[in-house]
C-alpha cells in the first residue's frame, strides 16, 4: 500500500494510475468539477463514512479513477444541469457549518492563495501541492501559496490497495481540517469548466450496457442535450421479489391437462377454448348456446368455468400472435399456459412469457424526460414488453414514495387486479417499483390518448398477487412514434376527480382530450 499525493500522482510510479479506481460504495457524492491547465477533467469526491463534519475527506479524481463509479458522476452532472450552473445543490451550507465551527474548522477559501481565489482556470499542475497526512498543514499551505494550486486531497491521505484508491483519516494531528467544500471559487470555476469527457464516458458506458442485453436490440439517442439514461438503472428480464413478497411456488402451478403438444385442429388450447389455463378467462359469449347463455346470465356472469373462453391471441394469419380485439378493448385478465401444462412450448397461448421480440429505442423527449419508441412498425395487438422491477410490499412502496418526495417521477405500479375480488386487503397487495431495476418499459411516458395499453397477464390463475403487467400496441404504430400508455387507464364511466394541490403532476401529453394531470 502506498500514499497518493493527488489526482493521478502516485508515489509508487511502477503502478499505472489508471488501474486504480474508487469503489462506488466509498463515495458519498461527486461535488465539484474542474479542468486542469493540461485540459484534464477532474471531479471532487466527497468520501462516504463517519468522519465528523470538518474531517470528511474530499479529493480530486480523474474520469479513469471514477470509471467504476460513473453513476455518481452522472448524478452530479444531472444536478449540475438542473441547477443551471449554480451548482449550489451539493454545497455544504455555510450557515450550518458556521454553527459547528471549531478553531480549526475554517472554510477552505481561507487557505487558498489570492491568485487561486480569483482564478477561473488556475494552474493545476501535477506538482506536490496536496493537503494530506503526508504533508503537515503548514507545509501544505506554504506550497499552495507558492504555486497557487488547489490541493488535491483534503482532510485525509489517499492510499491504493488491490486496485482501489482508499481514503484514510489523516494521522497527523496538526493537519488543518477543512469544511465548506466546495468553495464558491471552486463552484464558479466548475460552472465554466467542460464536462464533455465525463459525458462521453457515461454515454459509452450506457451504449456498452445496452449492447450487452439479451434479446432484440435496445438503443438510445439524445438529440436534445448530452445526457444519457441513468446508469444506475439495472435492466433485468424478470421482476425481483423483495423482502416480504411471496409468489406461489412454480411446482404448484396447475397446468392444462387435456391439451396436447401435437396440436392440430381439434386438439390445441386455442381450438377447444376449454383449456384449463383459461378457466377464469373471459367467456366467449358469442359461442354460447341458448341453454348455456341462460345459466351464465342467471349466475350474474360469474359462473365462467364451464363455458368456452375467448382465446387471447390470433393463432394464424397476418396478425398471428397479436392480441385479439376483444382483449385489446377489455380489462379481462389474459391467462397464458405454463411450464406444468401438457400443451408444450409450441402452444399458441404463450406469448408474454417468451419476452420482448421488438427492437426498442430510449430517446430524450422535449418535455417529459426519457421516452421509448420502437424502431420497427408495430401491428395493433403486438406485444411490446412487460413492466417489471422490484416487487415490494405496499408498506415498502409507501416508504419509497415518501422518501422520493412529490416532485420526483413515479415508477410504482400496484398489482391490484385480483385483490378486491379475492378478499385481499390493500395493504397486503404488492407493488412493482421500476425505478432502479426493470425493463425498457420503465421509460414509457403517459398520454391521455395512448397508442399502447397495459394488460394483466397471469401464468398462474391461482396467484392473485403476483402477475405480469404487459404492454401491447393498442393500434398500428409506425416505427419511431413514441410509445405511450395511459397511466390511469380508467373505465370511461369512472369519474375523474381533479387532483389536489401537491399530489398532482402536470401532464404534457398534448392530446386534444388531455386531462391535464398524470394521476389523481
Ligand atoms: C415511468 S416514468 C417515464 C420515464 C421518464 N420520462 C424518465 O425520464 O425516466 C414516469 C414519469 O415520466 C414523466 N412523464 C411521463 N409522462 C408524462 C407526461 N405526459 N407529461 C409530463 N411528464 C410525464 C413524469 O415525471 C412521470 O412521473
Q: What is the mean pLDDT of residues 401-408?
A: 76
User: What is the pLDDT at residue 416?
Assistant: 93
What is the length of the chain? 520
Q: How many A from CA of 57 to the centre of ligand 1?
A: 37
Q: Which residue's alpha carbon is nearest to atom 24 within ligand 1?
A: 409
Q: Which residue has the cell 379475492?
A: 422
* Lowest mean pLDDT across 198-202, 289-293, 305-309: 305-309
Using most ligand atoms within 8 A of CB, pick from 409, 435, 469, 487 the residue to mutate for ligand 1: 409
Q: Are 25 and 18 in contact (CB under 8 A)?
A: no
Of 53-57, 271-275, 308-312, give the range with the top mean pLDDT. Answer: 308-312
Beta bridge mates, 153: 59
Query: What's residue 421's pLDDT?
Result: 87
pLDDT at 241 (0 to 100): 97
C-alpha to C-alpha distance for 91 and 94, rounded to whole angstroms: 8
Beta bridge partners of 386: 470
| Residue pair 310/284 in contact by the 8 Å Cβ criterion | yes
Quick one: how far is CA 24 from the chain centroid? Answer: 17
Q: Tell me if residue 436 is catalytic.
A: no
Pairing of strands 218-221, 360-364: parallel
d(CA 509, ligand 1 centre) in Å: 10
pLDDT of 145 higher than 50: no
Q: Mean pLDDT throughout 487-503? A: 65
pLDDT beyond 50 at 4: no
Lowest mean pLDDT among 25-39, 45-59, 232-246: 45-59
The confidence score (pLDDT) of residue 263 equals: 60
298 or 78, which is more confident? 78
Indicate if ligand 1 lies below 6 Å from the C-beta of 509.
Answer: yes
Q: What is the 3-state secondary structure (H, E, C) of 58-99?
A: EEEEECCCCCCCHHHHHHHHHHHHHCCCCCCCCCCCHHHHHH
**pTM of the predicted structure, to 2 decimals:** 0.83
| Predicted confidence band of residue 302 (pLDDT cuts 50, 70, 90) | confident
263 lines ligand 1 (CB under 6 A): no
What is the C-alpha to C-alpha distance for residues 254 and 141, in angstroms, rounded to an integer? 75
272 confidence band (pLDDT: 50, 70, 90): low
- Distance from the CA of 506 to the center of ligand 1, in angstroms? 10
More confident residue, 147 or 300: 300
CB 411 near ligand 1, within 6 Å: yes
Nearest ligand 1 atom to the CA of 484 is 16
- The answer to whether 273 and 284 are in contact (CB under 8 A) is yes
The residue extents of the domains of the chain are: 2-201, 216-248+353-503
Report, as an integer, the average pLDDT of 434-440.
95
Pairing of strands 2-6, 156-161: antiparallel
Q: How far is the CA of 411 from the centre of ligand 1 (A)?
A: 9
- Ligand 1 atom at minimal distance to the Cα of residue 370: 8
| Closest ligand 1 atom to 434 CA | 1
Ligand 1 centroid to 436 CA: how many Å?
Answer: 15
Instruction: Examine the residue annotation and report whether 76 is marked as an active-site residue of this protein.
Output: no
User: Which of the following is catalytic: 76, 296, 327, 487?
Assistant: 487
Question: Per-residue confidence at 92, pLDDT binned at 50, 70, 90?
Answer: very low
Give me the architecture of the 216-248+353-503 domain, per CATH: Beta Complex (2.170)
Distance CA 407, CA 285 (A): 46
What's the gap in Å between 371 CA and the centre of ligand 1? 8
**Is the CB of residue 409 below 6 angstroms from any atom belonging to ligand 1?**
yes
pLDDT digits (tens, 9 = 90+) for 304-362: 777 888 999 998 899 999 999 999 999 999 999 999 998 888 888 999 999 999 999 99
370 near 364, Cβ under 8 Å?
yes
What DSSP letter does each residue of 102-165 carry, written as one string? -TT-EEGGGGS-HHHHH-SS----SSS---STTS-HHHHHHHHHHHT---SEESEEEEEETTEE
Nearest atom in ligand 1 to 372's CA: 4
Report d(CA 38, CA 207) in Å as an integer: 28
For the stretch 232-261, pLDDT in tens is: 999 999 999 999 999 998 888 989 988 887
For residue 10, how far is the Cα from the chain centroid? 36
pLDDT at 88: 37
Tell which one of 230, 363, 368, 387 to mutate to probe ligand 1, the residue whose CB is within 8 A of the most ligand atoms.
Answer: 368
Residues 6+ apart with CB under 8 A from 320: 313, 314
* Burial (CB count <10 Å: 0-12, 13-18, 19+), residue 158: buried
Cα 485 to ligand 1 centre (Å)? 11
Pick the atom of ligand 1 nearest to 446's CA.
16
445 lines ligand 1 (CB under 6 A): yes
Q: How far is CA 235 from the centre of its chain?
A: 8
> Active-site residue among 58, 124, 296, 387?
387
Question: What separation in Å is there between the alpha carbon of 124 and the centre of ligand 1?
Answer: 41
Verify whether ligand 1 is closer than 6 Å to residue 484 (CB atom).
no
Nearest CA owner, ligand 1 atom 22: 368
Residue 111 above 50 pLDDT? Answer: no
The pLDDT-based confidence of 52 (bands split at 50, 70, 90) is: confident
**pLDDT band for position 147 (50/70/90)?**
very low
Amino acid at each position: 500500500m502506498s500514499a497518493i499525493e493527488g489526482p493521478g500522482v502516485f508515489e509508487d510510479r511502477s503502478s499505472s494510475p489508471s488501474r486504480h479506481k474508487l469503489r462506488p460504495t466509498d463515495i458519498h457524492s461527486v461535488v465539484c468539477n474542474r479542468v486542469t491547465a493540461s485540459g484534464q477533467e477532474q471531479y471532487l469526491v466527497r468520501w462516504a463514512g463517519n468522519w465528523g463534519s470538518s474531517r470528511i475527506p474530499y479529493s480530486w479524481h480523474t474520469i479513469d479513477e471514477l470509471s467504476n463509479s460513473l453513476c455518481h458522476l452522472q448524478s452530479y452532472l444531472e444536478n449540475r444541469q438542473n441547477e443551471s450552473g449554480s451548482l449550489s445543490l451539493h454545497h455544504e451550507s455555510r450557515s450550518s457549518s458556521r454553527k459547528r465551527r471549531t478553531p480549526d474548522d475554517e472554510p477552505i477559501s481561507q487557505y487558498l492563495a489570492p491568485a487561486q481565489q480569483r482564478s477561473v482556470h488556475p494552474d493545476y499542475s501535477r506538482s506536490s501541492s496536496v493537503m494530506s497526512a503526508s504533508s503537515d498543514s503548514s507545509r501544505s499551505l506554504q506550497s499552495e501559496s507558492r504555486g497557487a494550486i488547489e490541493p488535491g486531497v483534503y482532510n485525509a491521505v489517499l492510499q491504493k490497495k488491490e486496485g482501489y484508491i482508499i481514503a484514510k483519516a489523516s494521522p497527523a494531528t496538526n493537519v488543518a481540517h477543512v469544511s465548506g467544500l466546495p468553495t464558491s471559487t471552486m463552484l464558479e470555476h466548475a460552472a465554466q469548466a467542460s464536462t464533455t469527457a465525463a459525458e462521453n464516458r457515461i454515454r459509452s458506458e450506457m451504449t456498452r450496457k445496452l449492447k450487452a442485453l439479451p434479446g432484440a436490440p435496445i438503443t438510445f439517442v439524445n438529440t436534445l442535450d448530452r445526457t444519457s439514461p441513468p446508469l444506475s438503472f439495472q435492466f433485468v428480464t424478470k421482476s425481483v421479489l423483495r423482502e416480504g413478497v411471496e409468489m406461489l411456488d412454480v411446482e404448484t402451478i396447475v397446468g392444462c391437462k387435456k391439451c396436447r403438444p401435437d396440436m392440430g385442429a381439434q386438439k390445441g388450447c386455442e381450438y377447444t377454448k376449454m383449456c384449463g389455463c383459461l378457466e377464469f378467462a373471459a367467456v366467449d359469449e358469442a359461442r354460447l348456446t341458448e341453454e348455456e347463455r341462460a345459466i351464465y346470465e342467471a349466475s350474474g356472469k360469474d359462473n365462467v368455468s364451464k363455458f368456452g373462453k375467448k382465446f387471447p391471441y390470433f393463432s394464424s394469419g397476418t396478425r398471428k400472435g397479436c392480441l385479439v380485439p376483444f382483449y385489446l378493448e377489455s380489462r379481462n385478465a389474459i391467462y397464458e399456459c405454463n411450464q406444468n401444462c401438457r400443451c408444450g412450448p409450441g402452444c399458441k397461448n404463450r406469448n408474454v412469457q417468451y419476452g420482448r421480440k421488438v427492437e426498442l429505442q430510449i430517446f430524450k423527449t422535449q418535455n417529459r424526460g426519457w421516452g421509448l419508441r420502437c424502431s420497427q412498425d408495430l401491428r395493433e395487438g403486438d406485444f411490446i414488453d412487460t413492466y417489471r422491477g422490484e416487487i415490494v410490499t405496499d408498506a415498502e412502496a409507501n416508504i419509497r414514495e415518501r422518501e422520493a418526495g412529490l416532485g420526483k417521477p413515479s415508477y410504482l405500479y400496484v398489482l391490484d387486479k385480483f385483490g378486491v375480488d379475492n378478499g385481499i386487503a390493500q395493504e397486503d397487495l404488492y407493488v412493482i417499483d421500476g425505478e432502479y431495476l426493470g425493463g425498457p418499459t420503465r421509460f414509457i411516458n403517459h398520454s391521455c390518448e395512448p397508442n399502447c395499453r397495459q394488460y394483466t397477464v397471469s401464468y398462474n390463475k391461482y396467484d392473485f398477487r403476483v402477475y405480469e403487467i404487459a404492454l401491447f400496441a393498442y393500434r398500428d404504430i409506425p416505427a419511431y412514434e413514441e410509445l405511450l400508455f395511459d397511466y390511469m387507464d380508467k373505465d370511461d364511466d369512472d369519474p375523474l376527480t381533479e387532483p389536489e394541490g401537491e399530489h398532482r403532476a402536470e401532464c404534457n401529453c398534448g392530446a386534444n382530450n388531455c386531462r391535464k394531470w398524470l394521476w389523481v
